Amino acid sequence: MSEEFKRLERTLVHNGKIIDYYQDTVQVPNGNVVKWDFIGHKGAAAMLAVREDGKLLMVRQWRNALDRYTLEIPAGGLNSIDEPTETAAIRELEEETGYIAGKVQFLLSIYTTVAFCNEKIDIYLARDLKRQESQHLDEDEFIDVKACDLEELVQMIYDGKIEDSKTVSAIMTYKSFLTDGKL
């Protein structure tokens, strides 16, 4: 069916710091030509970090788009489209939490908003953590690190207190893998 859709044109509307905004002209299966918005994103990486005591490291930070604080797993954008996502995830964990991962394994990939954006986040699991002296935050980052029990986080998801897609996906995948004996 994808052969029935044909992009005729992609026009850059605005270059942003994190994203680029385009307007696409697309011919749809019935022959009509439509305009669709497209957000181009270079990708991101995230880390679900588990301490020796089983607690998961979470970051509490202000999110402008939601106009409130959120509780999330550490994550950030790739420095370039060619940067390995594992490298970015390790970097973000250290910068945002002050921890270094001794052992890292791939957990899953998600696309955050498939209707209009190509942002893909690769999510990794970090264990054998080593605490460094401090976080290495960007000048616009103000992050509190929290260590939480898995079941507490799952309940926060069910209660609608954690809604961030990468965080929900990572926590529920981790819980499932633990339950199924895959970890």
Q: Annotated catalytic sites, by residue? A: 139
Instruction: Name the H helices within the chain.
Output: 85-97, 150-158, 165-179
Quick one: how far is CA 27 from the chain centroid? 32
Cβ contact 116:39 at 8 Å = yes
Residues contacting residue 181 through CB under 8 Å, at least 6 positions apart: none
